[in-house]
Amino acid sequence: MAITVRKFSNACYWITVVIITLFIALYLVFFRIVQDKVSNYPAPTAKIGFYSHASVGSLFFLSGLIQFNATLRHKYKTLHKICGYFYFTMSILVILSLIPLLIGGAETGISAWLFSILTGPLWLWANYLSYKAIINGDVTLHRRMNIRAYGFACSIIWMRPIVSLLSAPWSVTSFDEVQPRISEALKSVMWFTVLIEIMAVELFLHYEDKTRAPLVSAEKGSPFLTSQEKAALSLFDRNPFTPAKVVVFEMLNKNVLRIVFHLEGKAIITGPGEHISLRAKVNGKKTTRNYTPITTRSNMEAGLVELVIRLVPNGAMSSILQSSATNDTTKELPAFQISHCLEAFDYQANKHAFILMAAAGTGITPMINIARYILKNPADKTRIHLIFSVRNAEDTFLENILKDLVQQTISPSRFSYEVKHFLDVVTAESIHGFTSKETSSRILLSGPERFVRPLEASLVKLDKTVQVSSFGVSDR
């Protein structure tokens, strides 16, 4: 079985969960507090510093584990947001709690002072950049800086076994029990653990940049992209954003915009369900949002990116696009850039006999993207039925693409669709009516949270054996 970035990331996450849990429960609570009575910090100020640092540090690590849990992040976005503010606050308190600890006499002496002064501000800066990125809507940068900051913090945990290894030749449990010069030398060596951890994180990010799981691992037939094509795609450069020029600006209705960009750099080839980041810079301020393109393969190769976006009142990106659409000469024209995002849809040809897609509004875009890829592979026999939920006839934009997919399909049973208007509600029971007749099926949901979340919860209750995947849509 091939090791993909996602599998490797999941393995790293759960190993970190185990290590942090053991560190807090066994080392921090049982050994240092219960058994040792914090004997290495005899001064009252140092003891206060230790307890404060240990408390906020533990909360920082635990809230970080919640932040990095993909399931919680996707299903409970409000919890993720609240936990994010808490996590960022704890990162500040972690540094502040070091002050009484250092003043009262840190266990590692001068090296602790040097380490805190040199690296503390850098660590806070990484956390700040992560916070600033998510405020600006740059999810990719937010995630990368979070990984850097959290990995850096985890090096404090990895130091503990290093202490034991370095102290072993002298049969002591603390560096202070050996000669002063040797002690300081060992303490300095111990801090190199931080450098090792930083290198490990950067190697992981480099591996993530250069490695990509196969877009489709067909059981029969060839993948959608050949190995040569995938090798040629440098998806995440040091500066992954490519300048883009607007070539088509079309209002599909009063609220929905179709916009086509031409990339001034290399072409972007997206996989099934994979989205891109659109960045607009106006008056020096950058706004970034993620969208799923509906670009055909031939247009991708020509350097085009086609998006369908619902314009939301007072939305940050929507306001920029709206002013561009109305040719508002009183405002500065935005400079657009586009890059790939990290997550793609996990699909394997012929794994399921039937896929039921349910989409609302602009949630239709990832469904079109995925359907094209599935139907493109003649060796893939997966059948698709799409339910497109709209408010009224005016919202049936892109139905022409759905009709084209029906006409282009060799076997009539491979792709079908139906349009449901606002009063004809899409229910979990109606969806289950399709999947219950199949031996192997999968359900894909896409649209606003008010459409996706209730359906997802109800479908899981109805039948836990059917895999349900969802795509969130927010044009704000």
| Residue 317 marked as a ligand binder | yes
Choose one of 302, 318, 340: the last residue of a domain: 340
pLDDT on residue 209? 64
Q: List, for residues 367-426, the tens digit of each pLDDT value.
A: 988 998 888 888 888 999 999 988 877 778 788 888 888 887 777 778 999 988 865 678
| Residue 189 marked as a ligand binder | no
255 found inside a domain = yes
Same domain for 363 and 308: no
Q: Which residues of 355-389 are buried (b: 16+ CB within 10 A; e: fewer)?
A: bbbbbbbbbbbbbbbbbbbbbebeebebbbbbbbb
| Residue 291 marked as a ligand binder | yes
| Residue 452 marked as a ligand binder | no
On the question of pLDDT at 4 being above 50, the answer is: yes
- For residue 384, the domain's CATH number is 3.40.50.80
Q: Are strands 383-389 and 354-360 parallel, antiparallel or unpaired?
A: parallel
Same domain for 141 and 266: no
Domain that holds residue 11: 5-210
Choose one of 276, 309, 340: the last residue of a domain: 340
User: How many distinct structural domains can be found in the chain?
Assistant: 3
Same domain for 88 and 32: yes
Same domain for 115 and 39: yes
222 found inside a domain = no
Same domain for 316 and 231: yes
Partnered with residue 308 across adjacent β-strands are: 258
Same domain for 47 and 164: yes
pLDDT on residue 236? 36
Q: Are strands 335-340 and 304-310 parallel, antiparallel or unpaired?
A: unpaired
Residues 6+ apart with CB under 8 A from 431: 356, 358, 387, 443, 455, 459
Q: With CA atoms as reference, report the closest residue to 288 among 317, 319, 311, 329.
A: 317
Q: List, for residues 5-26, the tens digit of each pLDDT value.
A: 677 788 888 999 999 999 899 8
Same domain for 132 and 85: yes
On the question of pLDDT at 220 being above 80, the answer is: no
| Residue 145 marked as a ligand binder | no
215 found inside a domain = no
Which run of H or of E encompasses 420? strand 415-420
Q: List, for residues 356-365, the tens digit of each pLDDT value.
A: 999 988 888 8
Read off the pTM: 0.58
Asked if 355 and 442 touch (Cβ cutoff 8 Å), the reply is yes
Choose one of 185, 210, 235: the last residue of a domain: 210
| Residue 287 marked as a ligand binder | no
- For residue 269, the domain's CATH number is 2.40.30.10
